[in-house]
Amino acid sequence: MSDMPISDVPRRDPRTEWILRNRLHPQHDELVAASSGPVRGPSGLLRKNPRAVGYIGPNGLKRIDRSAGFSGGAGGVSFRSRGRSGQAEVELPLHTVEQPDFYVAVVVDLAAGRLSGHDKDVLGQAHQLVNATEGEGAVLAIALGEAREAAFGKAGADRLIHLTDVQGEPLDGYCPERKLAVLEAVECEFEPRYWLFPDSVHGGADLGSRLAARLGERPAVQAWQVDTERTVCRGGSQLTDWHRPTARVMLLAAECALPIDETRHEAKPLELTVIPPVTPRIEDLGPVDVDPSKIALSEAEFILAAGNGVRDWDQFHAVATTLGATEGASRVAVDDGNMPRFRQVGATGTWVTARVYVAVGISGAIQHLQGIGQCDKVVAINLDDGCDMIKRADLSVIGNSQGILGELLNLAESRQNGTGADTADLAIDTREEERHVA
């Protein structure tokens, strides 16, 4: 007994034992964690303490998080995981191309300065062609004109030529001859293996046809199934399919391939050394004012929509006219007889595709939010700052709609008097026209 050193004698710590028994003690968790190593039972089996999981929630109840941290951002997760996973963007792996053997050129539309779904599909198709071809290729995105919020790297551009002007002349508006000169310069310098264009009404079809005619290539138009050997193109009236060898210049239909969503790309900017000067024969005199009320609601670009919160309807119509917006309405406004039925936006009315949607006094029923699902920018004017429309909107203004609309009307009028006097007022007779078919 006495030959045992004093330090080896097992000693009890009654205070620790007391804390370990008392699970409401503030130090209970850390002491349990420190003392719980692998525990062997009397038969030598490894025992697990089923009560050691979870933690005590704010209301004193035990909470067990079984999601193991995978359900990032989901509604009902524990408050522990909420902070770190939140709305965090997942960093996608970066795809790099050091020395490309060949290029696949994609000329994006950049309608309204943004990459459309069609543009992204075409970039996805370009990557399919690169992957199916031997050697290391790079997707060269060519963007002509101003871009805003255009994530070229995320959409799949390995290399990027982005020009906003050529020889001091801006590339916005209609200038197919200047754009064609840029594309010819790209052809001389990089000799892309394929030229891909979106076959769209936003200029892709026009520019692609011009380039094909200039290069003397026979393009595959409305191509919807493309690999390196064969291409399937939709023929006239969408009634026939043409099976043909893959062409060098292709005008691709929408949804031809899946967009890039698992990798990031470099979007390394390239410079064109020389762009031959051109003297364009087509002169762009700028956009012409059209009567916004004649534009079909489903394809209007700018919609001012009214809901239950609007009291002064004359003022609302005046604002829409002054701003040049097409009028829309929620179901309540239509049911109350303040707006005609064909102005109703939402699941039971029209599904709109506007670029800017201003919702005045609309709280945002789910049917209405479905109807505006494809809108780019939503502005909400509302008294209630907890309504669903505020959660959807990119810019929300809390306040009385009448006062804000009044100020908006003043601003628009002063702006028109200041700048808008010189634009030629041309009487244009546009009828309500059918949707454009690409």
Scan residues 137-176 and list those touching other proteins (CB under 8 A): 173-174, 176
Report, in Å, the least distance between residue 397 CB and other proteins: 4
User: Which residue's CB is nearer to other proteins, number 121 or number 158?
Assistant: 121
Task: Give the nearer residue to other proteins in terms of CB position, either 21 or 281.
Answer: 281
- CA 257/CA 263 separation, integer angstroms: 16
Residue selected from 323, 329, 332, 362 as contacting other proteins according to rule CB under 8 A? 323
Q: Determine, following the binding rule CB under 8 A, whether residue 88 of this chain makes contact with other proteins.
A: no
Among residue numbers 252 through 291, which ones bind other proteins (CB under 8 A)? 255, 258, 261, 281-288, 290
- Which of residues 12 and 281 has its CB atom nearest to other proteins in the complex? 281
Calculate the CA dihedral of residues 37, 41, 43, 45 and round it to 10 degrees. -50
CB of 258 to other proteins, least distance (A): 8
Interface residue with other proteins among 248, 268, 294, 317 (CB under 8 A) is 294
Binding piece for other proteins, criterion CB under 8 A, among 13-21, 106-114, 266-274, 342-350: 106-114
| Axis-axis angle for helices 14-21, 28-35 (nearest 10) | 110
Looking at 37-45, 48-56, 334-342, 430-438, which segment touches other proteins (CB under 8 A)?
Answer: 430-438
- List, as own/partner pairs, every contact residues 391-394 make where C-beta atoms lie below 8 angstroms and the sequence separation is at least 24, other chains included: 391/364, 392/364, 393/359
Tell me the two tokens of residue 339: 């707006």
Residue closer to other proteins by CB (options 300, 345) is 300
Q: Which is nearer to other proteins, 71 or 97 (CB)?
A: 71
Q: Is 383 in the site for other proteins (CB under 8 A)?
A: no
Angle between helices 401-419 and 313-323 (to 10 degrees): 30
With contact defined as beta carbons under 8 Å apart, do 374 and 389 qualify?
no
Q: How far is the CB of 168 from other proteins (least distance, A)?
A: 20
CB–CB of 325/360 below 8 Å? Answer: no
First to last CA, the chain: 97
Binding residue for other proteins, selected from 32, 185, 242, 272, defined by CB under 8 A = 242
Nearer to other proteins (CB atom), residue 51 or residue 148: 148
Helices 176-190 and 204-215 pack at an angle, to 10 degrees, of: 50
379 is a contact residue toward other proteins (CB under 8 A): yes
Considering only the stretches 137-145, 162-170, 201-209, 340-348, report the one whose residues sit in contact with other proteins under the rule CB under 8 A: 201-209
83 sits near other proteins (criterion: CB under 8 A): no
Which of 28-36, 96-104, 160-168, 381-389 is the region at the interface with other proteins (rule: CB under 8 A)? 381-389
317 membership: H or E segment, kind and range: helix 313-323
Nearest-angstrom CA–CA distance, 309 and 312:
9
Is 67 near other proteins (CB under 8 A)? yes
Residue count of the chain, please give it.
438
Q: Nearer Cβ to other proteins, position 140 or 304? A: 304
Q: Please report whether residue 355 would count as binding other proteins according to CB under 8 A.
A: yes
CA-to-CA distance for 107 and 208, rounded, in angstroms? 9
Residue 356, interface with other proteins (CB under 8 A)? yes
β-bridge pairing 302-306 and 326-329: parallel
What residues numbered 388-407 form the site for other proteins, per CB under 8 A?
388, 390-400, 403-407
Which residues, other chains included, contact 322 with Cβ-Cβ below 8 Å and sequence gap of 6+?
Answer: 409, 412, 413, 416
Q: In this structure, are residues 306 and 297 in contact, taking their beta carbons and an 8 Å threshold?
A: no
Phi, psi of 248 (to 5 degrees): -80, -35
Cα 42 to the center of its chain, rounded Å: 61
Q: Which stretch binds other proteins (CB under 8 A): 16-24, 37-45, 122-130, 322-330?
A: 322-330
- Sole binder of other proteins in the list 20, 112, 272, 278 (CB under 8 A): 112
